Structure formats: structure tokens, C-alpha cells
Amino acid sequence: MSTDLLNTLVTSAIWRAEQLDEQSISSALAWAEVSSLEEKLAKAIPGSQPEGRIARRGAVRAALKAGDIERARALVERYVAEKDATRALKTALRQLLDDDARSLAERFRHAANAVQDARELARWLQEGGAFGLAA
């Protein structure tokens, strides 16, 4: 798929997701689609190029908006490990995760630790498989 086509598709997808957000309609699936298209753009354009960096931030940002923290973390790990990742990009990607954690803690002030624990547990289960057998 050409980058021109991917740019057109991601434009449509972002626009649709924003419209759903503005009408307070559940937009998680729409943002998941955005994240997937941004990831495809990131595969097509290296992180040394501006549009590649925009796509990498976009893939993570949209995964967070879709509520998929595990995907967001995995993408950050992958992009930060890339040879041509600039320091500014690495900082920006980590900042997205930090901002999401901070915003969650503010929204659920009294349950912040429980939410964080649940996320850690989910991560542990995903990495380790059932009963930790895959770990």
C-alpha cells in the first residue's frame, strides 16, 4: 500500500474518530483503526523522517485513546529501540505513556493504585500466559 493511500486513509480515520468523540459516542474501535493505520505508516517511513515520527507518535496516541495500554506500551518499546529513533522522539513517546498514567490517576483519584495494579496484572498475564507458563 502506498504512503499516499495510507495518508488518505489515516486522515479519514482520524476525522471519523474525532466526530464520534465530539458526539460522546464510543470511539475506541475508531481509534484502534487509526492506531493500526499509523503503525502501517510508521513501517513505511523511517523514524529519521518527520512523517515517520508523526506516525510513530500517532500510533501510540491512538492506541491510548482506544484504551489499549498494552499495545501502546509495546509500540513505545519497539519505536524506542529503533536505531534511528531521535532523542526527542523517544522522550515524546515515553511522555505519552506518562501523561496517560497521570490522567488516569487524576480521573480515578481514589482507585488510582487499583487501576495501576490491574494494568500491571494484565501485563503480567499477557507476557506470562496462563498460570505464568510462558514466562
Partner 1 sequence: MEIDLADLRKMHPRLPEDLALVMTGRAALSLQKNGHGSPVAIRLDLEQAASEGKLAWPTSDPVQMDQHDNKRLTEDGAEAVTLALAHRAYGWRIVRRMQQGESADWLLEEANEEVCSRIALEVSGVARGSIASRLAEKLEQVSRVEDEDVDQQWVGVVGFEEPVAALQSSKAVQT
Footprint of partner 1 on this chain (CB under 8 A)?
4, 7-12, 14-15, 18-19, 22-23, 34, 50-51, 53-54, 57-58, 61-62, 86, 88
Q: Is the dihedral of CA 24, 29, 33, 39 positive or negative?
A: positive
Residues 6+ apart with CB under 8 A from 1: 40, 44
Which is nearer to partner 1, 46 or 123 (by Cβ)? 46
- Give the nearest distance from C-beta 134 to partner 1 in angstroms: 34
Residue with cell 514466562: 135
Which is nearer to partner 1, 95 or 126 (by Cβ)? 95
d(CA 19, CA 22): 5
**3-state class percentages of the chain: helix first, strand second, coil last, to nearest 5:** 80, 0, 20
- Give the nearest distance from C-beta 32 to partner 1 in angstroms: 13
Which is nearer to partner 1, 12 or 113 (by Cβ)? 12
- Give the nearest distance from C-beta 68 to partner 1 in angstroms: 15
